[in-house]
Every structure is written in C-alpha cells, then in structure tokens.
Structure 1
C-alpha cells in the first residue's frame, strides 16, 4: 500500500557523500568512519570485562574485529546504521566508538550506541563525542534520537545527561544481559525547529562503565 507521508530524510541523503569526520567543539576529538586500521583497537576494547558485560558481546579474534569494521561500513552504505571511531584529534589514537543504530529514514528515528576504552574513561570523552554526533544527526534531519541504558549503569546515565539527553522514562525488563533482564532508562533528543543545519567538517568522569550502552 502507498505510504502517505514523505521520508523525513530522503533516501540517499547520507550516502551521496563519504561518511564525514566529526569534531567536538573544542577540536580535541575526531569521530572517524571505521577503517580496517581500527580493527586492533576494536578488538582490544572488547577484552575489557565491563564493556563485554554491558554489551553482552565478546570479540575473540582480530578477524572478528575486521568483520565488525566491514559490517559498519556496509551499514553506512545501506543507510541502516552509522558507526564512528572516536579518536584523539592530535594523533589519531582510538578512544571509543559512537553509533547511530537502527536508522529509520522514513520516520527520522535512530538509536544511540557508544563505548569508551578503559584508558580513556574519566576524561569526558563520551559526552563530548556524543554531543558532536547528536549535532550532526539532528543537523542532517533526524527527528528523534533514543538512548537507552540499564538502570544499573549510573555512569552511562551521567553521560546522557551531560550530553543534553533528558530522561524520558523507564522500560521495565526490556533488555537481556548475561545476568538476567534489566530495566532500561530511556533518554531522548528531539529535533529543534530552529536548529541551524549542520555543516560537515571533512578530514581525509564516569566509572569503568562509562558509555557502555547495551547494543
């Protein structure tokens, strides 16, 4: 049956240009499209018990990390998901990952996902990178961005609030972790009518649970 609403974001809008590199307002962090050169850092990140716990996933080999990179690149090409590796702008050191998951261009919806490597936690990396991602996503036309985390993950809650995602409510028993079902906090950002469109910039103190969004 014909759909009687127009796409909030016209298909092809994102992929008509290469995936952009995003920068935080202070210029200290750069969010880069995943490349095979990031595979080792992704593999290393998943050796952290806290990250594995909150994501309920493991990564045993470098080949799995390379497959993750390829899948992330395909997600952008299909306009279904967008992943970024958060790096230190000065030297390119990987610090974490930011993502828009389950992108729905018809309705202009997406879910936020993120993690920060152990050595980069407690430095404000997650909220700064999340702010940069959010500005880009709202600027290209997404209407609503949902961010969910376990109610037991207080650090991720602080990240959401610092990045301007107010708490909307709690979804009871909605995410299965290795130790059972967790209630999930729902934080949300909704498009501001007067927001200035984003202009791309192209570049060729939480605990150990910081930014461990269940994905």
Structure 2
C-alpha cells in the first residue's frame, strides 16, 4: 500500500496475518515457539515473580486469565499489532517471553520486550533470544527499526540490550509508571543493516 504522502509501506499489510507464526530456533536445545494454553502455568508464575512484576507491566490473576492473555497473543499476531513468543527448551514449557509490541508495519518499527523466569536468568539466554528475534524482525519480516526500552534502575536489561547489538540512544525522562512511581527509561535501538 502507498500512503497519501506517496511513501510505500515498509512491510506490506498481511505479511504476518497471512502466515503462521514461525518457531524461531535457538542454540543449546532452546527455541522460541508461540505460546500455547499449556504454558498458562508459566505465565501465571511470571505474573507472581517479584522481578518480572517490577519491570514488566502485566498481570495474570489466575489460570483462566493467563489462558485469555495467551489467546490475546494469538489475536495480536492475526491483527499484526504484536508478536509474542515463549522461550523454552525444545518441546518444553515456557521459561520466558520475548516479543514485539506496538508493531507498525507501514512505518517499519516495533518495540522488543522480554522476561525470563528465575531459573533461566544469568545464562545469556536473554541476549541470545533478543538477537534471534531482532534477526527475524529486521531480516525476515522486514522491519527497519526495533527499539528496546528499560528503566534506568534495571542495569541487567541495559547489558542485554548492549550485548544484543542495540545502540544506546538516550534517556527518556519520566517515561513509564511503575508500581513505585515514574521511571526514567533508557532507549536502545537496532536498525536493519546494523552489525549483528
């Protein structure tokens, strides 16, 4: 489609919705499959984890709510507004989440988000999964820009962004309201063609 300004869409509408969400392979027997109803326990566990609750603004009150959230993930793929994967051992249940929020296919941009359950932290898995999703988003889907934002009080996410090839672009003051108040956020980004 070409907009009124005569600029073609960076990624044509339907590029996601017309196909199935792919499983993204990772090293060391890990993969990024789409979420299934069988992963509701993992989502509920994440919603109760203090670190995930501190840095990620989501809740799941019970198993039924977790299953509804998983169904909304699939709806977002079909609506081309979001793309959410589990992070799991091949054939296993989810131990993390990674995805794209605020997908703008016409403008070629999205925000990358992630979390890992405690047993998966500190293993380099967040960096590996972030690199893999960035590759798929920029090279396979065809987006131009991915942003990764995190509270300035979360240095672990800053390290993940840097190791995954996201360039630090600045600090956004008072950008996100957490349970303990407004947080400044670091903005990192990766563009198509940036060194991987």
TM-score (ref. length: structure 1): 0.85
Q: How does 1:16-27 map to 2 (within 5 A)?
A: 16-24=18-26, 26-27=27-28
**Structure-2 residue corresponding to 1:104:** 104
**Alpha-carbon deviations, 1:105-146, whole Å to 9, x = none?**
111000011100011111111111111101000112100000
- Tell me if structure 1 keeps the 8 A contact 2:38–2:93: no
| Structure 1 residues 93 and 34, CA gap change in structure 2 (3 angstroms) | closer
**Alpha-carbon deviations, 1:120-174, whole Å to 9, x = none?**
1111111111111010001121000000000000011111111111211110111
**Structure-1 residue corresponding to 2:127:** 127
- Tell me if structure 1 keeps the 8 A contact 2:165–2:195: no
Moved over 3 A (4+): none
Give me the whole-angstrom Cα distance separating, in 1, the residues matched to 2:5 and 2:13. 15
Give me the whole-angstrom Cα distance separating, in 2, the residues matched to 1:168 and 1:121. 25
Q: Secondary structure at the match of 1:46?
A: helix
Q: Secondary structure at the match of 1:189?
A: strand
RMSD: 1.7
Q: How does 1:34-183 map to 2 (within 5 A)?
A: 34-89=35-90, 91-139=91-139, 140-183=141-184
Give me the whole-angstrom Cα distance separating, in 2, the residues matched to 1:193 and 1:96. 26
Structure 1 residue runs of 5 or longer lacking an equivalent are: 196-215
- Tell me if structure 2 keeps the 8 A contact 1:22–1:32: yes
Q: Secondary structure at the match of 1:149?
A: strand
- Tell me if structure 1 keeps the 8 A contact 2:9–2:105: yes
**Structure-1 residue corresponding to 2:29:** 28
Instruction: Pick from 12, 15, 28 the counterpart of residue 13 of structure 1.
Output: 15
| Structure 1 residues 5 and 194, CA gap change in structure 2 (3 angstroms) | farther
- The alpha carbon displacement at 1:193 in A equals 8.1
- Tell me if structure 2 keeps the 8 A contact 1:29–1:88: yes
Aligned length: 193
| Structure 1 residues 2 and 69, CA gap change in structure 2 (3 angstroms) | same
